Amino acid sequence: MARRPARFLRWGRAIAGSALLAALVLSFYFPDSSWRFAQYFAKAQFGQILGAVVSLGSAASLALFLFYALLTKVWGRVFCSFLCPLGVAMELVGLLRQKARPLKFRRSPRSFWRALIPALALFLFLMGVTLPFGLLEPFSVFSSKSFWLDVPGLVLALALALAYFKGRAFCNCLCPVGLIFKILARKTRYRLEVGPQCPRCGRCEAACPCHCLDPGEGGVEYERCVLCLRCLKACPNGSLAFRRSAPAQSHSPSPALARASGSAPTSTPALASAFASAPASFPLARRSFLRQAALVAVAGAAIAAPELTRAQTILVPDETPILPPGALSLAHLNAHCSLCHGCVRVCPNGALRPATRGGISLIGKPVLDPYRGFCQYDCVRCAEICPTNALLGISVEMKHYWRIGLVHLRRKECIVVKNGTRCGACAELCPTGAARMEMGPSGREEPTLYRPLCIGCGACQKACPVRPVSPIWVVGRKYQDAMASRPIQNHGADIAMTEDFPF
Amino acid sequence: MKRRDFLKGCAGGALALGLGSPFGNIGAALAQEAPFPDLVAARGENLPRMFDAALTALGGLSRFIQKGQTVLVKPNMGWAVTPDKAANTNPELLSHIVKNALNVGASRVYVFDNTCDNWASSYRDSGLEAAAKDAGATVAPAHDSGSFQEVVNPGALYLKEVELHELYLEADVIINVPVLKHHGGAKMTAAMKNLMGVVWSRGSLHWSGLDESVPELLLYKKPTLNVVDAMRVMLTGGPRGRGDSQYLACRTLIASADAVACDSACAAIMASAGIAQPGYVFNASQRGLGVSDLATLNVQRLTV
């Protein structure tokens, strides 16, 4: 193939990827005007829609999932350097590094160990323990807010540091989405291949941040390739190019390598080979030991996962936290939330934040803190942005009778009762009339609760001037539900004046 | 001796001019000019026309705004609800006032409110941000403590230090444009209570009691003109309004330089619909911040 299309591909990818990344960052910082962009971006993320796909949550997610699978089957891991925000960021870091002090990469052999961490994270995610997946899923790594001594920030720093010193190691060693793409990209319609007129200059190998390219014996190990296309730029005569795969040799190493290792690992079953065969230089006994160890690890995880799932429903905090509207229950949120914190970012009142307490299951999941802000009555942004269906998309109309918490009052600590102050801030903010000012035992109008009307938005707690502990507060519902009856609507005509000017 | 007497006389005269009238010196000067009414109430179907009629009776908007002055028009846009709920000031009225202020020579017109609901939603859903911008006003943010400055409130018993919005401090003319409605905490909200939207730490007003602290909002600076939108008055479920809120078809607009007099008239409207009187109106007049006894004022009633 000629060099012109290759250059166009490279620059096209770099510019489009950077533009998307910049737009995403902007929409994070200006959520009020542009949060819809973050919503569509999150919902287009392969790792995020997995949550919606495993629960058969939405047809659109399923269709998108199939589209990405097809795309990968045809072209390889197009997603990884184009739509993945972390991938694009790592490419930018790589670009900086290459400008400053170019790294020379060397092809590294295939290794089973690369698949271990992402496979475990993915497995636990499918079993309903989402914390490891959330810490490694690239969109979540990129977008999540700080919690727990800023673990997400550390993972992001690690990914970018790896990009600076080791190339795209994160994508092949830690990223659970990368693992799925790896499996899909084992056989593709088109692939990068070294042509016959290759001068064996080695420049492509030195440029490859995935360590998956060797113009000599190894060829291109396409499943590890994230299509950064640096090799295309490095190739002096265009002999490295996209070619239609020859069906028989689509994945097997070159005949020379097979001869050297003394075996032809072409008949490995799909799943086992997904974990990649052990390095070719290993003796046979050691390789089989590693395979057995992997099986033991997977089996161990399979046994441990239900226990962990059970543990995270037992380890509920003392007081049920207020979960965002649509989360249904702690168990539902736990099983689906990928910790992307899109909801935390778009909440107009800044009421949501990643939980910092409440056990391993709750940490990092979004909870509502009424002391920071309350849940706006006519807003369902968090439920709309959630890409994994951890928050079910409830409508604004439904939100008006969707109960996420219940109000409590320590009457004697209220300043109206205690000091005789005319306050009423809670009743002022309450959108449903669950807190009202009515004549009470104190002989004054004091906060009076109509708890069946409470939807748990926390406006009363936010408005109450008593600090640090408000005498009116909201406790989250263990199971969110809809009120038995809809809010009463007044459809009557306005009352007429008794006289024109009553003064 | 003569010179000293002269100086004493000057000082005394200035003091008398400054403190002699409950309205301050501007009010005193205006009172001597022409027999304008103290308070005008206009009934009708169209708020801009009612405003025009009321202002004509008060001697025109140019009586309150000099050429080149900066004007703050302070509506109630504290709630993220649509205009039909009557929880915020009517956007048509706000737009009309902004246009008129610019017509009589205001150099700039500002609009803001420290909202109760989320500020961006309130500015948008109330329709007031769009209305003010279209009319030519500058819509300022008030959701960040950086826009507010702490001042010492002279003569205050409760709000001794209060954080006021910098535009409220800077503006030459303040036109207070509240909506009259029921209020769960204070019983009623109109002119004086609307000034809570220029304060940053609203909690401190609740903490010291609304009846006591709301009048003190008039201590540092008084609005030049108050225009109360009482077109459709929320009688229950205020100040946010609920689905089951009841409304009074009041069709009234009240305008006066005296916020206390405005609130007194509003309280009379609420009382006619069976809503209890707020305590802060009486407290304000007791402290000499305005006149609540409408019988002693020149009140003009118009039907447009």
Nearest to A424 among B184, B232, B240 (CB): B184
Per residue in A349-404, pLDDT (tens digit) is 999 999 887 777 788 899 999 999 999 999 999 999 999 889 998 999 999 999 99
Nearest to A376 among B118, B206, B265 (CB): B118
Residues of A within an 8 Å Cβ radius of B? 32, 348-349, 373, 376-379, 415, 420-425, 427-433, 436-437, 463, 465-466, 487-490, 492-503
pLDDT the model gives residue A276: 46
The Cα A31–Cα B159 span in angstroms is: 35
Structural domain contains residue B6: no
The Cα A278–Cα A271 span in angstroms is: 14
In chain A, how many H helices and how many E strands? Answer: 25, 11
Which of chain B's residues have a Cβ under 8 Å away from the Cβ of A487? 242-244
Which of chain B's residues have a Cβ under 8 Å away from the Cβ of A373? 118
Helices (H), A240-395: 255-261, 270-274, 284-314, 330-336, 342-346, 359-362, 381-385
State which residues form the domain around B289.
Answer: 38-303
Range A46-63 burial, b when 16+ CB lie within 10 A, else e: bbbbbbbbbeebbeebee
Q: What value does the mean pLDDT take over residues A104-120? A: 88
Whether A253 shows a pLDDT value over 70: the answer reads no
Which of chain A's residues have a Cβ under 8 Å away from the Cβ of B245? 490
Structural domain contains residue B258: yes
Structural domain contains residue B165: yes
Structural domain contains residue B21: no
Q: What value does the mean pLDDT take over residues A287-293? A: 71
Helix axes A85-100, A151-166, angle to 10 degrees: 40
- Identify the residue whose tokens are 């962990």: A308
C-alpha distance from residue B129 to each of A348, B98, B111, B239 (Å) = 17, 12, 8, 20
Q: What value does the mean pLDDT take over residues A202-206? A: 91
Q: What value does the mean pLDDT take over residues A148-158? A: 89
CATH number at residue B225: 3.40.50.11440
Structural domain contains residue B12: no
Cβ of B206 within 8 Å of Cβ of A487? The answer is: no
Per residue in B133-144, pLDDT (tens digit) is 999 999 999 999
> In sequence order, what DSSP letters do the residues of B228-276 get, joined into one string?
EEEEEEE-SSTTT--TT--EEEEEEEEEES-HHHHHHHHHHHHHHTTPP
Structural domain contains residue B192: yes
Tokens of A151: 């673990």
Structural domain contains residue B259: yes
- Identify the residue whose tokens are 């602290």: B213
Cβ of A425 within 8 Å of Cβ of B185? The answer is: yes
**Min distance A426 CA to chain B CA atoms (Å):** 8
Q: What is the pLDDT along chain B (304 residues), one digit of tens a residue?
A: 456 665 555 555 444 444 444 444 454 445 455 589 999 999 999 999 999 999 999 999 999 999 999 999 999 999 999 999 999 999 999 999 999 999 999 999 999 999 999 999 999 999 999 999 999 999 999 999 999 999 999 999 999 999 999 999 999 999 999 999 999 889 999 999 999 999 998 899 999 999 999 999 999 999 999 999 999 999 999 899 998 999 999 999 999 999 999 999 999 999 999 998 999 999 999 999 999 999 999 999 999 9
Cβ of B244 within 8 Å of Cβ of A422? The answer is: no
Cβ of A425 within 8 Å of Cβ of B206? The answer is: yes
Inter-residue contact B100 to B73 (CB < 8 Å): no
Nearest Cα residue in chain B from A31: B120
**Domain total of chain B:** 1
Q: What is the CA radius of gyration of chain A?
A: 28
Structural domain contains residue B5: no
